[in-house]
C-alpha cells in the first residue's frame, strides 16, 4: 500500500515537473521573437507585457483566412445583399438621424455625406456588426503563420502603437478577424495615419464616437483622392460593335472623348449632360459584354483604396445614390443565368491561356487586369467578343 502511494506520488511529481519544464510551443517561441522586434520598434515593456503575456492562437482566424471559397458569387448576388432594401431603408434612417454631423463633416473634408454613410452601411451595417474579435490575438494569429504573415506583423505593431500612445486600451481593440476595427473598419495602420478626433475629447474613438467615425472615414477618403460634388461614375450604354478593349484599367479618357467613342448615359441620349466634359474616367464591364457598363471617375478609385474590390466600390456608389434619395438601381440586366466559374475553373482558364502562349500573370484564380487582357487577346484571335470576361463559354473555347 505504501509502495503504491509512493508510485502515485512519484507519477504526480513527474507529471507536475513535466508541466513546469514543458517545451515552449512554436507560438510562444514566435511571440518571444516578435517581442524583441516590437521592442526594437520602440514598443515599451509595459505594453508588451500587457498585450502579449498569455497570448494564444485563435484557430477560427485560420479557418477564415484559409477560406478561399471554391464557388464564387456573381457580382449581381453580391450587390443584391450589399444594396438590399433593408440596407437602403436603414441607411436613409441613419442618415436622417445623423444629418447635421454628416453635413458638417462633408463640408470640412469635401467628402459627400452619403458616401460616408454608404461606407458605414457596408462596413458594419451602420454600427450593428463591428466584430468582436480581440484585435491583438487575431493579428498575432495571422502574423504567426498562413498567407498573410507580413500583413499580420505590421498591423500587430500598429495595434501595439495604438495602445502605447494611449489612443485605446488593450481591451478596446476589438473588430473583425482580419484586424479591421470600429464602425468603418479601420486596420491599425490606417487608424494611426488617418483617424481623427472630431469632438476634441483627446481620443480618436472609431468604436463609440460617430463624429470621430465619420471624420476619420472622410479624412481617409479625402487623402485617397476623393473630391466632393464630383460623381463616382455613371452607368453607360455602349454603341453596337463597340471595341471592348477600351474597358481596360490603363485606359482613361475625358467624358467628351468617351462621348465621341459612342458612349451615352443609360438614362439619356447624351453622356456629357450633367458632367464636366473634361472629367476623366475608365470603363468597367464587371460581368462582360452581356452585362451593364459603367464609366468611373477618380472618386471611384478613392473608394477602391478603402477596399480593392470593384464589387465593393460599385456597392458603395449605388448605395450612396439610394441614401441621397436618387435611384441606385442598375438599369441594364445582369447576366444572372451566367454561372460564375469556380476557383478550380478560374485557375484552369489561366493555365489554358498560359499553355496557348498568353500571359495571364500568376495562376491564382484571381481574374485581374492581366488575366482580362490575356483573355481579350485570345478572344480576338478566336473571333469572339473580346470583353475579357471569364465565362464558362470562354473556358470551353480555350480547352
Closer residue to ligand NAG, CB minimum distance, 133 or 306: 306
Closest CA to 94 of 323, 327, 277: 323
Closer residue to ligand NAG, CB minimum distance, 216 or 391: 216
CA distance 326 to 316: 14
Closer residue to ligand NAG, CB minimum distance, 162 or 353: 162
- CA-derived radius of gyration, the chain: 26
Collect all residues with Cβ–Cβ distance below 8 Å to 207 and sequence separation of at least 6: 130, 168, 172, 174, 181, 182, 183
What's the closest the beta carbon of residue 303 comes to ligand NAG, in angstroms?
11
Residue 293's H or E segment, with its range, is: strand 293-296
Closer residue to ligand NAG, CB minimum distance, 307 or 380: 307
Query: Which position has the grid cell 479625402?
Result: 222
Residue 245: phi and psi, rounded to 5, are: -60, -15
Residues 100-139, mask of contacts with ligand NAG (x by CB under 6 A): ----------------------------------------
Residue 103's H or E segment, with its range, is: helix 99-109
Three cell numbers, residue 321:
445614390
* Four-residue CA torsion sign, 52, 56, 59, 62: positive
Which residue in the set 47, 180, 238, 367 belongs to the binding site for ligand NAG (CB under 6 A)? Answer: 180
Closer residue to ligand NAG, CB minimum distance, 186 or 214: 186
Closer residue to ligand NAG, CB minimum distance, 31 or 180: 180
CA distance 60 to 55: 15
Closer residue to ligand NAG, CB minimum distance, 188 or 360: 188
Which residue in the set 120, 144, 167, 186 belongs to the binding site for ligand NAG (CB under 6 A)? Answer: 186
Binding window for ligand NAG (CB under 6 A); candidates: 24-32, 127-135, 184-192, 265-273: 184-192
Closer residue to ligand NAG, CB minimum distance, 55 or 304: 304
Give me the half-sphere count of Cα atoms (radius 13 Å) on the Cβ side of residue 330. 25
Helix, strand or coil, per DSSP, at residue 280: strand
Binding window for ligand NAG (CB under 6 A); candidates: 88-96, 180-188, 262-270, 275-283: 180-188
CA distance 342 to 256: 39
Q: Which residue is nearest to ligand NAG (CB)?
A: 190
Give the footprint of ligand NAG on residues 258-277 (CB under 6 A).
none
Q: 95-121: buried (b, 16+ CB within 10 Å) or exposed (e) per residue?
A: beebeebbeebbeebebbbbbbbbbbb
Binding window for ligand NAG (CB under 6 A); candidates: 60-68, 106-114, 181-189, 365-373: 181-189
What's the closest the beta carbon of residue 265 comes to ligand NAG, in angstroms?
31
What's the closest the beta carbon of residue 118 comes to ligand NAG, in angstroms?
14
Q: How many residues bind ligand NAG (CB under 6 A)?
A: 7
CA distance 284 to 246: 9
Which residue in the set 83, 163, 187, 236 belongs to the binding site for ligand NAG (CB under 6 A)? Answer: 187
What's the closest the beta carbon of residue 190 comes to ligand NAG, in angstroms?
3
What's the closest the beta carbon of residue 306 comes to ligand NAG, in angstroms?
5
Which residue in the set 126, 294, 306, 389 belongs to the binding site for ligand NAG (CB under 6 A)? Answer: 306
Closer residue to ligand NAG, CB minimum distance, 119 or 295: 119
Closer residue to ligand NAG, CB minimum distance, 67 or 278: 67
- Is position 190 an interface residue for ligand NAG (rule: CB under 6 A)? yes
Q: What's the distance, CA 200 to chain centroid? A: 29
8 A C-beta contact, residue 135 and residue 173? yes
Q: Which parts of this chain interact with ligand NAG (CB under 6 A)?
A: 180, 185-187, 190, 306-307
Amino acid at each position: 500500500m505504501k509502495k503504491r502511494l509512493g508510485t502515485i506520488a512519484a507519477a504526480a511529481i513527474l507529471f507536475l515537473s513535466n508541466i513546469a519544464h514543458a517545451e515552449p510551443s512554436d507560438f510562444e517561441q514566435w511571440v518571444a521573437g516578435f517581442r524583441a522586434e516590437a521592442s526594437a520598434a520602440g514598443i515599451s515593456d509595459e505594453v508588451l507585457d500587457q498585450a502579449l503575456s498569455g497570448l494564444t492562437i485563435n484557430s477560427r482566424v485560420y479557418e477564415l483566412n484559409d477560406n478561399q471559397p471554391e464557388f464564387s458569387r456573381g457580382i449581381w448576388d453580391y450587390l443584391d445583399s450589399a444594396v438590399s432594401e433593408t440596407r437602403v431603408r436603414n441607411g436613409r434612417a441613419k442618415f436622417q438621424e445623423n444629418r447635421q454631423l454628416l453635413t458638417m463633416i462633408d463640408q470640412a473634408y469635401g467628402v459627400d455625406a452619403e458616401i460616408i454613410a454608404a461606407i458605414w452601411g457596408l462596413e458594419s451595417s451602420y454600427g450593428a456588426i463591428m466584430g468582436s474579435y480581440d484585435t491583438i490575438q487575431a493579428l498575432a494569429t495571422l502574423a504567426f503563420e498562413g498567407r498573410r504573415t507580413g500583413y499580420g506583423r505590421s498591423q500587430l505593431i500598429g495595434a501595439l502603437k495604438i495602445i502605447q500612445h494611449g489612443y485605446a486600451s488593450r481591451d478596446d481593440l476589438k473588430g473583425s478577424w482580419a484586424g479591421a476595427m470600429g464602425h468603418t473598419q479601420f486596420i491599425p495602420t490606417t487608424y494611426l495615419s488617418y483617424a481623427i478626433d472630431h469632438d476634441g475629447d483627446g481620443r480618436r474613438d472609431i468604436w463609440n464616437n460617430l463624429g470621430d467615425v465619420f471624420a476619420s472615414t472622410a479624412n481617409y477618403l479625402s487623402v485617397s483622392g476623393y473630391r466632393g460634388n464630383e460623381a463616382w461614375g455613371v452607368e453607360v450604354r455602349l454603341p453596337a460593335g463597340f471595341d471592348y478593349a477600351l474597358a481596360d484599367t490603363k485606359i482613361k479618357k475625358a467624358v467628351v472623348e468617351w462621348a465621341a467613342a459612342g458612349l451615352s448615359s443609360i438614362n439619356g441620349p447624351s453622356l456629357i449632360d450633367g458632367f464636366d466634359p473634361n472629367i476623366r474616367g475608365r470603363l468597367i464591364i464587371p460581368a462582360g459584354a452581356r452585362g451593364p457598363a459603367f464609366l468611373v471617375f477618380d472618386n471611384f478609385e478613392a473608394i477602391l483604396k478603402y477596399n480593392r474590390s470593384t464589387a465593393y466600390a460599385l456597392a458603395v456608389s449605388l448605395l450612396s445614390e439610394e441614401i441621397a434619395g436618387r435611384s441606385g438601381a442598375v438599369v441594364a440586366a445582369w447576366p444572372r443565368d451566367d454561372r460564375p466559374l469556380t476557383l478550380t475553373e478560374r485557375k484552369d482558364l489561366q493555365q489554358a491561356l498560359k499553355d496557348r502562349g498568353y500571359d495571364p500573370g500568376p495562376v491564382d484564380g484571381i481574374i485581374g487586369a492581366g488575366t482580362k487582357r490575356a483573355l481579350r487577346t485570345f478572344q480576338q484571335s478566336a473571333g469572339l467578343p473580346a470583353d475579357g470576361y471569364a465565362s464558362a463559354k470562354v473556358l470551353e473555347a480555350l480547352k
